[in-house]
Structure 1
Amino acid sequence: MPTTTPARPRAAEGGLRRIAHHTLFWPVVALIALLAANTVYRPSFLSVTVLNGHLFGAPIDILRNSAPLMLVALGMTLVIATRGIDLSVGAVVAISGALSLSFIATSPNPGSLSTVLLAIAIALGVSLVLGVWNGFLVSVVGIQPIIATLILMTAGRGIAMLITEGQITTVTSPPFKTLGAGFWLGLPVATLVAGGVFLLVAFLTRRTALGMLVESVGINPSASRLAGVKARTIVWTVFALSGLFSGLAGLILASNVMAADANNAGLFIELDAILAVVIGGTSLQGGKFSLSGTFVGVLIITTLTLTVTIVGISPLVTPLFKALVVIAVTLLQSPRIRESFAARARQRAARPEEVSA
């Protein structure tokens, strides 16, 4: 008599198949592969030590260095979910850092907490206004997002240069330095700030109607308007949030080095943010988005950058390695590639098995 396959192994096989088809499967595999490669090259890579009550180690460095990109990528995720794109985030990062440090530098008491808080408020306020401006051009004027944000991308660094008068502005302000290089409860303040913003955005998009409204606008703007969704307001909101988050990222970057470099601050961060969003499985065509996928994508890019440094390869070659990883992950996430893998799996399952009578 032929034997039958037990139900439990079939259920387990089906569970593994569902896991393999999950959007985050290959990004997580890529991240684990990078961490494993670093651990093989340097066995102490994943070790974390405590010094003066603070946590130190490569994993902590990855989390701290991921903070600015995480903030920018969060805003980019929401913008892309509405079928948009924001190329101006790098310029907003530069403007935010230039504003805050220029204000502190010209203040009579740069080490005062009130001065630092006012500088942060000014930088975030201007960044929010810039995001609102992008949203106005897209949702009200009707300019394509890539063109509307390209305007600020082109002019933004010029604005930052005007603010710093073409110089690299440096200051000495312990309260401001805490934002990018300080610790609280053993963890980097920058990581805690980015983590808090991530949790807030996750709550607003998954526990309120905001996420559903953003997805509806991205899937079909016309149908969403007919259904009563204020698509213009949603688009305006996500661009404003993108500007605000980019401004906060600019503050962290400026605080980390205590200098405002209008030419290099946030340079190409918009490309890294788009890569992180795409790696995380969010479609550039709008609609469904994944904040957890963006989180994994940011970790992949930051870990890859650190890997190049650890191995001793020139930083000039880093974009090449980023491109290779992105190509590999996106190909594995491609529906056509997935369907090819699934078809092969079905063919193997359909082959007659040798059974004993």
Structure 2
Amino acid sequence: MIKIISHRLFWPVVLLLVLFVVNLVAFPGFFRIEVKDGHLFGSLIDILRNGAPTLIVAIGMTLVIATRGIDLSVGAVGAIAGALACSIILDSPDPGSVTTVVTAVLVSLLVAVVLGLWNGALVSVIGIQPIVATLILMTAGRGVAMLITEGQILTVNSPPFKVIGSGFLLGIPVAVVVAAVIFLAAALLTRQTALGMLIESTGVNPEASRQAGVRARELLFAVYVFCALCAGIAGLILTANQTAADANNTGLFIELDAILAVVIGGTSLTGGRYSLLGTLVGALVIQTLITTVYTVGIPPITTMVFKAAVVVAVCLLQSPATGAAIRRWRLRHLARADRQAVA
């Protein structure tokens, strides 16, 4: 039992279950899933669909944080990707064409990769602190998105593009399918190969890793590019769901939600060991918390307060002091049991 309580995912999972219970009490049909026109609908499906962009960004953020870095520019990168895609579609003679949408998506993701290379170069080549390097793009990125949209909200009427945000594939929301594919790909690539170990070693001690032959610079480039690519995909999903590019609001604060999801999942901000499964649980906690605020009837403006409270609670429960207290309690329990056995 002590082993289970000491696991870094124990408290996040408990918190998620508590939120589920609160929602079930407030809304008895919370767990009901219906099939309409071959598509799945329900509160749980909504949580998965609405939380997909945050999960996608959090997956990339997890690998960045594992290298002892951070990426504050993911929201701006998402806004740029969405604005560029909508601009290309609107400028096309056939906005409803699948070819047009595919071209817009590919160009947007290519630009996201370039922005990831920019962040990677600032961090690994020039040696700027990650929080400062990515803050540069976070600040300038919104301005770039505004330039692309010319300060307007670009509304797009393109059914193929709308599918990315609100469409279904085999009855499952496309956003959920995309998030699942990215999660599985990242998990397989980092846990079934040596890549994950190399990322962790770079985060624990970059200089020692370099001397051991690990190509830390290339790894940093890779994780920042991957994180930017995830941000671009999330930005396209958010933009397609709204069928409009809003440079000011697309992906706003998503970097904070992604970091919160990573922290709740047990990944240390000091680098080293990370948990993609923990990040998945953390993203579900964040989105379920948002859903709970609406379900219970709490003013949505207080959502950030509840997010902060959740992170504080989880961090306290996962802290070394809490772990030491649990171990001391275990030792006292074992000693008491031994004394009773002797008596």
Give the TM-score band, short-chain normalised: over 0.9
The reply to whether residue 119 of structure 1 matches residue 119 of structure 2 is: no
Tell me, what secondary structure is at the counterpart of 1:143?
Answer: coil
Percent identity between matched residues is 61
Distance 2:331 2:325 in 1: 10
Give the aligned partner of residue 6 of structure 1. none
Name which of 206, 224, 233 aligns with 2:218.
Answer: 233
Distance 1:259 1:113 in 2: 17
Name which of 29, 43, 55 aligns with 2:28.
Answer: 43
Distance 1:314 1:262 in 2: 26
Name which of 247, 254, 262 aligns with 1:262.
Answer: 247
Distance 1:355 1:339, change over 3 A: closer
Contact 2:2–2:326 (CA<8 Å) still a contact in 1?
A: no
Distance 1:204 1:210 in 2: 7
Farther off after superposition, 344-353 or 53-62: 344-353
Tell me, what secondary structure is at the counterpart of 2:270?
Answer: coil
The reply to whether residue 54 of structure 1 matches residue 39 of structure 2 is: yes
Name which of 172, 190, 202 aligns with 1:217.
Answer: 202
Aligned pair count? Answer: 342
Name which of 249, 253, 263 aligns with 2:234.
Answer: 249
Distance 1:234 1:74 in 2: 16
Tell me, what secondary structure is at the counterpart of 1:55?
Answer: strand
Distance 2:341 2:291 in 1: 52
Give the aligned partner of residue 90 of structure 2. 105
Where structure 2 has 5 or more consecutive residues not aligned to the other structure, the ranges are: none
Where structure 1 has 5 or more consecutive residues not aligned to the other structure, the ranges are: 1-15
Q: Deviations over 1:188-207 (max 9, x none)?
A: 00000010010000000001
Give the aligned partner of residue 153 of structure 1. 138
The reply to whether residue 330 of structure 1 matches residue 337 of structure 2 is: no
State the Cα distance separating 1:349 from its structure 2 match. Answer: 3.1
Letter in 1 for 2:149: T
Give the aligned partner of residue 120 of structure 2. 135
State the Cα distance separating 1:354 from its structure 2 match. Answer: 5.5
State the Cα distance separating 1:314 from its structure 2 match. Answer: 1.5
Tell me, what secondary structure is at the counterpart of 2:326?
Answer: helix
Q: Deviations over 1:72-117 (max 9, x none)?
A: 1011000000000100001001101100011111111100000000
The reply to whether residue 300 of structure 1 matches residue 285 of structure 2 is: yes
Q: Deviations over 1:99-146 (max 9, x none)?
A: 001111111110000000000001100001000100000000111101
Distance 1:173 1:341, change over 3 A: same
State the Cα distance separating 1:328 from its structure 2 match. Answer: 0.8
The reply to whether residue 340 of structure 1 matches residue 325 of structure 2 is: yes
Distance 2:77 2:155 in 1: 19
Tell me, what secondary structure is at the counterpart of 1:351?
Answer: helix
Distance 1:356 1:276 in 2: 48
Q: TM-score, normalised by structure 2?
A: 0.98
The reply to whether residue 277 of structure 1 matches residue 259 of structure 2 is: no
Give the aligned partner of residue 188 of structure 1. 173
Q: Deviations over 1:38-86 (max 9, x none)?
A: 1111111011011011110001001101110011101100000000010
Q: TM-score, normalised by structure 1?
A: 0.94
Q: Deviations over 1:194-231 (max 9, x none)?
A: 10010000000001111111011001111111111100
Larger Rg: 1
Letter in 1 for 2:212: A
Give the aligned partner of residue 3 of structure 1. none
CA RMSD of aligned residues (A): 1.2
Tell me, what secondary structure is at the counterpart of 1:100?
Answer: helix
Give the aligned partner of residue 28 of structure 1. 13
Give the aligned partner of residue 197 of structure 1. 182
State the Cα distance separating 1:20 from its structure 2 match. Answer: 1.2
